[in-house]
Amino acid sequence: MPFENRDFNTPDYTEELEEPKKVVIISCEGSNTEPEYFDAVKRKLSDNLKNLVEVDIVPKPPGDSEPTAVLNNLKEHVKNKYDFNEGSDILWLVIDRESVEARKRNIKKIIPECNRDGYSIALSNPLFEFWLLLHVTDITAYDSDVLIQNKWVNASKNRRYIDKELSTILPNGFNKRKGKFNQDIVSFENVKRALAQEKLFTTSYPEILDSLGSNIGELIGDFLDLSE
C-alpha cells in the first residue's frame, strides 16, 4: 500500500484553540469593605480561581451608594473597558438590603433592567457584614431577629450589632475604613464555612428582600472552585 503524499513540514495534528476568558465584573455599593473583601479573595485564594476566569472589581467613586448608582457605575465601567460578551462575561451588583422600606423600593426599581440586560444582584439582608460574619463564627448561636434588626450598639450610632460581633471575634478587630479590611476573614476554610452557613438562611432572590439571608455564595461560585 503506497504512502500518501504529505508535506512533512506541516504538523499532523489540529491545534486546539484556547477558550475565551470569562470576566466576572463586580460593582459594589460600598467603597471600602466590599471591594477589599473581593480583592482579598482574589489574592489569597488565587489557586482556587476557576480556569479562564478573570475577576474585575469596578472602582467605586465617592458619593451615592443607591442601587441605581451601583448599576450605573457598572454600566459605565463595562462601556468604557469591555466589549461585553453576553453569555460569557458575568456582571454582578453587590447591594445591601438595609432596614428602611425606601431601600427595598429602590432595589426593586432596578430589577427589570437587570433582568433585561443580564445583570445579577448579590444581596445581603441586612448588610454585607452578615456575609462576613458567616465566615468566622457558628451562626446558629445567634438569634435571627437580632441579626436582621442589626441595631445600633452605641449612643453615637457609628457601630451596629454585626460590626460589634466581628470586632469581638476577630483578634485584630474589624474596621470599615479604607484600607483597613481585616484580611484574616478570608481563607479557604472560612469561605467554605460561609458558603455552608449561608444555606441555613434565605438564598433566593428576591425573597432575600424580606428575610435574613444572602446570595453572595452564587457570586463566589462564578469564579472560585473550592472543591477538594
Q: Where are the domains of the chain?
A: 22-223
By the 8 A CB rule, do 94 and 73 touch?
no
The mean per-residue pLDDT over the stretch 130-149 comes to 98
Looking at per-residue pLDDT, the higher value among 4 and 212 belongs to 212
Share of the chain above pLDDT 70, in %: 89
Q: Is 132 within 8 Å of 170 (Cβ atoms)?
A: no
| Contact partners, residue 152, CB within 8 Å, separation at least 6 | 159, 160, 161
Average pLDDT over residues 53-60: 94
Given a cut of 80, is residue 228 above it in pLDDT? no
Residue 3: the pLDDT is 33
